[in-house]
Amino acid sequence: MAEDEVITEVRKAREQISARFDNDLEKIVAFFQREEKKSRAKLYNYQDKKKKNSPSSGENTAGKGDNP
């Protein structure tokens, strides 16, 4: 089976990023967190949605137009 070009490209990018930060996961995460803060894009946090919809939160917001 031939390897998908997109998968090959993603793997190559991942290898380049890892090499750039000496394969140090903490450095990689810190870099992307800094980039995220600089971004003007509205980011969606699925963890926040899970907390809002969890029974322990006391509030169920499902179905109230909160889709991304």
What pLDDT was estimated at residue 36?
86
Domain count, the chain: 1
**7: number of Cβ within 10 Å:** 9
Our CA angle for 7, 12, 15, nearest 5°, is 125
Calpha distance 68→66 (Å, rounded): 6
Kindly report, residue by residue over 8-66, the tens digit of the pLDDT. 999 999 999 999 999 999 999 999 889 888 887 776 777 776 666 666 655 555 555 55
Q: Could you tell me the residue range of the domain that residue 23 belongs to?
A: 5-55
Residue 65 located in a structural domain: no
Residue 68 located in a structural domain: no
pLDDT of 67 above 60: no
Please tell me the pTM assigned to this model. Answer: 0.52
What pLDDT was estimated at residue 54?
62
Residue 62 located in a structural domain: no
Residue 64 located in a structural domain: no
